[in-house]
Amino acid sequence: MVFPETRLRRLRYNKVLRDMVTETKLSVDDFVMPLFVCTGDNVKNPISSMPGNYQLSVDLLVEECKTVYASGVKAVLLFGIPKEKDEDGSVACKHDGIVQQAIRAIKKEIKDMYVIADICNCEYTTHGHCGTIIDGDVDNDITIETLAKQAVSLAEAGADMVAPSDMMDGRVALMREKLDENNFTKIPIMSYSAKYASGFYGPFREAAESAPKFGNRATYQMNPANSDEAIREVELDVVEGADIVMVKPALSYLDVIYRVKTEFKMPVAAYNVSGEFSMVKAAAEKDWIDGDRVMMEILTSIKRAGADIIITYHAVDAANILNGKK
Ligand code: PBG
């Protein structure tokens, strides 16, 4: 049937009806809040390019987690800023490493908080690359050994899930093997499967003090022009044992999220990264856009594309809107 019998506006005149036929509904259950933990006591360093986000010492991180949990967001993703770095990032595997301390403290105070540990070396290496440098580039097979150690160490500290973000080949398989050998068979791996070499990570690298000191990450992160390759990355991670696959960034890669969800039927996470967050904040500050409205529109688009889990610095703000607290 066509016009005039069919009128699509008929479903739009009444808000109750509009709500009933809404296809995509965001929920606080979808959100993960990324947080940055640093050494010291009572430290709260603002991250200038990410308004409202801070490097927090463990004591204040725990307080922040209470706020996050009270908003309804029940999962956090932790990034550490250690006091000292080394050549191969092995400081990340220390029993009393910064993220290990943070996990224990959060679990002690807020036992139901779901704590996800990002697994990567870039915050822990002196050169800022995601692994050990041999002949001027990150060596794959040495790096996956340190990453697997880091994963076991963070699981020992109490992490509920590990999330490798390094983009080395074979890291999921080795991580699964080492976790299982250490009796962590119940700990899922959320793999950053299709992670692109993106300009949108700029603010994060300020936050995590993890910018590479030379070169870039193009020999390990993906070319933004490719999506068939994303499918191959996801396929391998699934075979290697990933429980959840991730696409990152989210907004410029909605087509990739859609393809991954459609082709694999796996739980899919999308990382709404720092640069995507900061652009909204900057434009809203200038009154060029309605920040809250654009935030909800972006998050809805990520879910509509097929993401089950959305990792976002907007998590608490969006939760407060969804809960009518804002
Ligand atoms: C570590 C890592 C990065 C992000 C998450 N894990 C940065 C990078 O690859 O340089 C970026 C997250 C963001 O921009 O919010 N490898």
Measured from CB, residues less than 6 Å from any atom of ligand 1 are: 118, 120, 122, 130, 165, 201, 204-205, 210, 273-274
Contact 240, 268 (CB under 8 A): no
Q: What is the pLDDT confidence band of residue 39, given thresholds at 50, 70 and 90?
A: very high
Question: What pLDDT does 35 receive?
Answer: 98
Say if residue 313's pLDDT is above 90. Answer: yes
**126 found inside a domain:** yes
Sign of CA dihedral 81, 84, 85, 91: negative
Helix 228-240 × helix 171-181 angle, to 10°: 20
**9 found inside a domain:** no
Which atom of ligand 1 is nearest the CA belonging to 202?
14
d(CA 30, CA 130): 28
Question: What pLDDT does 29 receive?
Answer: 98
**58 found inside a domain:** yes
d(CA 74, CA 113): 5
Write down the pTM of the prediction: 0.97
Question: What pLDDT does 326 receive?
Answer: 80
Average pLDDT for 132-161: 96
Average pLDDT for 228-235: 98
Tell me the CA–centroid distance for residue 10 and ligand 1, in Å: 45
Tell me the CA–centroid distance for residue 18 and ligand 1, in Å: 38
Protein residue with its CA nearest to atom 5 in ligand 1 = 165
**18 found inside a domain:** no
**10 found inside a domain:** no
Write 179-184 long-range contacts (CB < 8 A, 24+): 179/148, 179/151, 179/152, 179/155, 182/152, 182/155, 182/156, 184/152, 184/155
Which atom of ligand 1 is nearest the CA belonging to 130?
16
Which atom of ligand 1 is nearest the CA belonging to 118?
6
The model's pLDDT over 103-146, given as tens digits with 9 standing for 90+, comes to 999 999 999 999 999 999 999 999 999 999 999 999 999 999 99
Protein residue with its CA nearest to atom 11 in ligand 1 = 201
Extract the tokens encoding 46. Answer: 């603002």
Q: Which positions are annotated as active-site residues?
A: 195, 248
**37 found inside a domain:** yes
Q: CATH number for the domain including 157?
A: 3.20.20.70
Counting ligand 1 atoms within 8 A of each CB, the residue from 47, 85, 120, 219 with the most, and so the one to mutate, is 120
**175 found inside a domain:** yes
**127 found inside a domain:** yes
- Provide the number of structural domains found in the chain: 1
Say if residue 241's pLDDT is above 90. Answer: yes
Range of the domain at 194: 24-322
